[in-house]
A = this chain, B = another copy of it.
């Protein structure tokens, strides 16, 4: 198994990197790596490198970066706005959004939202771990929770806002994506129980593009994974020719 760790500080070939605290603990105590073991380090500005452990001390270790694995990738912006349900669910959604290439995650308070606090520090750790495991170079940003109204007035995306609307019956998600191939989109998904009528009207007034995910009622977390996947498949970075 290949170990990949996120390292926000500068990475360059033949340089030495000190690791301590939780990364040291993970490599030496949990994975029981020895001098000579290989570990990959990455970040979004320098790309990915392979390092060899050249020294292990009581509270830190030294890696020498000996192989250049991949250059930084051009980040394609993709924003997820969602209304959290339970705290355990938020970690799950951040993990899935990271695997599916989201760059900004905005939890929102809506009329039917149950959770109004989010532990951003914990969610950032979830995002880092998911990025390490899915071979992504960048870490999505998890923003402090805001109201739906604030999110609509202060958009994090520059392209269209895709509104997954269980009352939509004339425009399917794939149809819209295929015809428009929109970039830097926001994807907005409501809580269990949906948006209220007033909220749906507010989203459409803010130029939200109402799309349908079929006739079965999806749970919020299913709708999030489904919409992100269909976006990546049709208009995003799963397209091989790009």
Residue A173 lies at the interface, judged by CB distance under 8 Å to chain B? yes
Contact between chains at A238 and B214 (CB < 8 Å): yes
- As for how many copies of this chain the complex holds, the number is 2
Residue A46 lies at the interface, judged by CB distance under 8 Å to chain B? no
Classify chain A's interface size: 35 or more
Contact between chains at B234 and A99 (CB < 8 Å): no
Choose among B95, B213, B233 the residue that contacts A172 (Cβ–Cβ < 8 A).
Answer: B233
Q: In the bound complex, how far is the Cα of B227 from the Cα of A95, in angstroms?
A: 17
Contact between chains at B214 and A174 (CB < 8 Å): no
Residue A114 lies at the interface, judged by CB distance under 8 Å to chain B? no
Contact between chains at A240 and B99 (CB < 8 Å): no
Residue A202 lies at the interface, judged by CB distance under 8 Å to chain B? no
Contact between chains at B226 and A214 (CB < 8 Å): no
Please give the distance in Å from A128's CB to the nearest CB on chain B: 14
The proximity string for A residues 94-124 relative to B, scoring 1 for CB distances below 8 Å and 0 otherwise, is 0110011100000000000000000000000
Choose among B134, B175, B240 the residue that contacts A171 (Cβ–Cβ < 8 A).
Answer: B240
Q: In the bound complex, how far is the Cα of B175 from the Cα of A136, in angstroms?
A: 23
Q: Point out residues on A near B: beta carbons under 8 Å.
A: 95-96, 99-101, 133-136, 169-175, 178, 212-219, 222, 225-227, 229-230, 232-234, 237-240
